[in-house]
Amino acid sequence: MTDANTIFLRLEGPLQAWGDTSKFVIRRTMDAPTKSGVLGLLCCAMGLSREKARERLPELNGLAMGVRIDRHGTRWWDYQTVGAGIGMTTAGNEVKTGAQGTLITRREYLADASFLVALQGDAKLIHDLAAAIASPKWPVFLGRKSCPPSVPILVTRKREDGTCEPHIETGRSLLDALKCVPWQPRLPNFEPDKKPDKLACILEWRATDTEPEAPNDAEVWYDAPVAFDPPVHHPRLVTRTELTSGANGVSTDGATQERVPRPPRPHANYNNAEWKSETLIADPADPSRKVPKGMRPRRLQRDHGLCVFCKAPANTVQHITYRRAGGDETLEDLRSLCRLCHDAVTMLEYGLGMGLDRINPEEPRWRKPIIQKRAEIVEFRSLETRRRRLAAEEVE
């Protein structure tokens, strides 16, 4: 699309959040703006409601999108309440309001990040979008309404008479276009000892005559919006590359920031042979007796093969804490459960947004919630599903 026009957006602010494929009450962010978030910003600028945006999304999705990461930002967590006063739709198509309908969610943000977004497409559409962003009908925000921009969204350049006009490039590829806007330091008049060597870029990949198949390192991002109400997204392919500093007008004078990765999250390796091994070894606590080598069968043996909650035959174990997950678990970190109790406990944990420390089904305070959740699971499972997938003792 080298004959198309390209418009540039500067997405910079104290906080940004670009929706990930998050579930339940833990909402993460991608490391760069998503196409859904950017098109939502454009729809706000044009004054399109969620319902009316559906009519324009096919045209807007035709825009090719590239992102240059000028500052990666720092990942930061906050919480937010959802549903208070306005109600939430339940699985039974009813509306909950008040305290019972309020959830506390964990939200991830990018703090102090800066991105240059290039949108490439038909000349008329590009100029219409530039006019809308220059004079938005509704306030625009960076992914979430709590994230206002700190600089003008539309990137402009000066004319010879000193006035400004939208910076629109013509006849350049997406990557070449991203080289045309100088990199800006966070602090003016700041001269670091070392200049950054490269700037990371994320480019939307599309098939061409010379490249009909996507490269092996292409990533799938599920962020091409089909509708905003209800939210429906299709996948698209993106590739990552880097721009060499100082090449073709890309200026890197100033301070930059290295990418801050997500903190490691402990998780259990259920495919580890050591975790499942039933080979008998001497009990570390009592060498005179034999116990399975794997922690999973050892915990099942300790509980006599029974669910610690309902005393049905146990076929799995549940982590009550993930602080030592990944190979350092102790027997006290696990509890044997049947499949029904395991599903009930897991659903409660996700609903409560629990972190490393989870539910201990042996504690009396969890007995009533687990019983209620078991009943809900059974109620919503069809009789055929119960007969086919549940053990006899789980069919109620």
319 bridge partner residues: 334
Tokens of 166: 């939208």
Please give the model's pTM, rounded to 2 decimal places.
Answer: 0.61
* Phi, psi (deg, nearest 5) at residue 275: -70, -35
Residues 137-144, mean pLDDT to the nearest whole number? 94
64 touches 120 (CB < 8 A): yes
- CA–CA separation, 109 and 31 (whole Å): 10
Q: Is residue 151 part of a domain?
A: yes
Domain limits at 354? Answer: 273-394
Considering the domain boundaries, does residue 258 fall inside one? no
Report, in angstroms and rounded to the nearest whole number, the Rg of the chain calculated over CA atoms: 27
Question: Which tens digits make up the pLDDT trace of 38-53?
Answer: 999 999 999 999 999 9
Q: List b or e across 125-162, with b for residues whose CB sees 16 or more CB atoms inside 10 angstroms.
A: bbeebbebbeebeeebbbbbeebebeeebbbbeeeeee
Contacts of 385 (CB under 8 A, 6+ apart): none
Q: How confident is the model at residue 238 (pLDDT cuts 50, 70, 90)?
A: very high
Asked if residue 204 and residue 158 are part of one domain, the reply reads yes
Confidence band for 19, pLDDT divided at 50, 70 and 90 = confident
Q: Is the dihedral of CA 250, 253, 254, 260 positive or negative?
A: positive
CA distance 389 to 391: 7
Residue 345, amino acid: V
Q: Is residue 268 part of a domain?
A: no
Q: Are residues 90 and 225 in the same domain?
A: yes
- Whether residue 254 lies inside any domain: the answer is no
Same domain, 167 and 278: no
Could you give the CA distance from residue 177 to residue 168 in angstroms, rounded to a whole number?
9
State percent of the chain over pLDDT 90: 48
Q: What percent of the residues of the chain are helix, what percent strand, and what percent coil, each to the nearest 5?
A: 25, 30, 45
Domain boundary (216, 249, 282) is at 249
Q: pLDDT value at position 23?
A: 62
Q: Residue 193 above 80 pLDDT?
A: no
Residues 207, 63 share a domain: yes
**Range of lowest pLDDT (179-188, 239-248, 281-290, 319-328):** 239-248
Answer yes or no: is 93 within a domain. Answer: yes
**Statement to judge: residues 166 and 228 lie in one domain:** yes
Closest CA to 334 of 275, 393, 252: 275
Asked if residue 256 is part of any domain, the answer here is no
Q: Which residues contact 360 (CB under 8 A, 6 or more apart)?
A: 320, 335, 366
78 and 133 fall within a common domain: yes
| Residue pointed to by tokens 């696990």 | 334
Q: Are 277 and 204 members of one domain?
A: no
Reply yes or no on whether the pLDDT at 176 is more than 80.
Answer: yes
**Total domain count, the chain:** 2
pLDDT band at 249 (very low <50, low <70, confident <90, very high): very low
Residue 160 sits in the same domain as residue 278: no
Tell me whether residue 198 is exposed, middle or buried, using C-beta atoms within 10 angstroms of its C-beta: 0 to 12, 13 to 18, 19 or more: middle
Same-domain pairing of 245 and 290: no
Residue 266 lies in a domain: no
Mean pLDDT of 374-389: 70
Rounded CA-CA distance 18/205 in Å is 19
CA-CA distance, 85 to 96, in Å (whole number)? 9
CATH code, 181: 3.30.70.2660
Q: What is the pLDDT of residue 352?
A: 82
Structure confidence at residue 384 (pLDDT)? 55
